[in-house]
Homo-oligomer: A and B are copies of this chain.
Amino acid sequence: MPMQDMHIVHHECGDCPIRHRAVCARCDSDELTRLEQIKYYRSYQAGQTVIWSGDRMDFVASVVTGIATLTQTMEDGRRQMVGLLLPSDFVGRPGRATAAYDVTATTDLVMCCFRKKPFEDLMQTTPHVGQRLLEMTLDELDAAREWMLLLGRKTAREKIASLLGIIARRDATLKLKAPKGALSFDLPLTREEMADYLGLTLETVSRQISALKRDGVIALEGKRHVTIPDFDRLMEEAADDSDGGFLD
């Protein structure tokens, strides 16, 4: 990798695109000032590893822009994604010294980092950060449990449809549109990353995407741009009990 482009941007928290959703969402201006004093930004290129499982981790962070993944790897190389981190999501665990998972930037990524010790102190002395972090962690736990249902009980086709639904919904949220009728977006993951998310092989992912395309559930332009003519149809294919599916 030739260039080591450590773009150190500096935002005012007031302008921050994730101000209202991240771990700082509930902070008053006083708390925000304290956070502002210990924060710094880091950028990563698509494909870069942020940290390896087991490595010392002296910071926690929020994803500002871009997408990162958490993955676990077994000794023989089998891999399972266990987290998909979108803007405003939190990385790292207060009170833990080493990373528990591999963290990888799948797109160009900017994170707002806090050195761990000052962040932990701040959590002790001000309630709002801890409260928000609890709320976010509970949301993640719900998402993890939905994901467990997918991994344990859904067919390959249902898994693909579910993942496309999750991405479509998130994308619609960013664009402030309800996920109804036709919508389209770019896949932020390769076939292999999708396979790691879904507990499948990349070949099976490819085949099922082709099948959904053949059946008119989705349309593709190039490999990455997906159009969904009928969102409800996709949801039927995903076999989600609660059509709502993901909270938020």
Q: Which of A's residues lie within 8 Å of B, judged by CB?
A: 70, 72-76, 78-80, 82-83, 93, 95, 100-101, 127, 130-131, 133-135, 137-138, 140-142, 144-149, 151-153, 198-199, 239, 241
Contact = CB atoms under 8 A, between A and B. Distances in A.
Nearest to A123: B131
Contacts of A198: 152
A107 B142 CA distance: 25
A82 B147 CA distance: 9
A90 to B, nearest CB: 11
A103 to B, nearest CB: 13
13 contacts: A80-B148, A80-B153, A82-B145, A83-B145, A95-B135, A100-B145, A101-B145, A130-B130, A133-B134, A137-B137, A147-B148, A151-B151, A151-B152
A232 to B, nearest CB: 15
Nearest to A73: B241
Given A100-B142, A148-B144, A152-B151, A75 B239 contact: yes
B239 A153 contact: no
A207 B151 CA distance: 21
Nearest to A148: B82
Contact of A72 (B127, B138, B199, B241): B241
Most buried by B among A100, A140, A141: A141
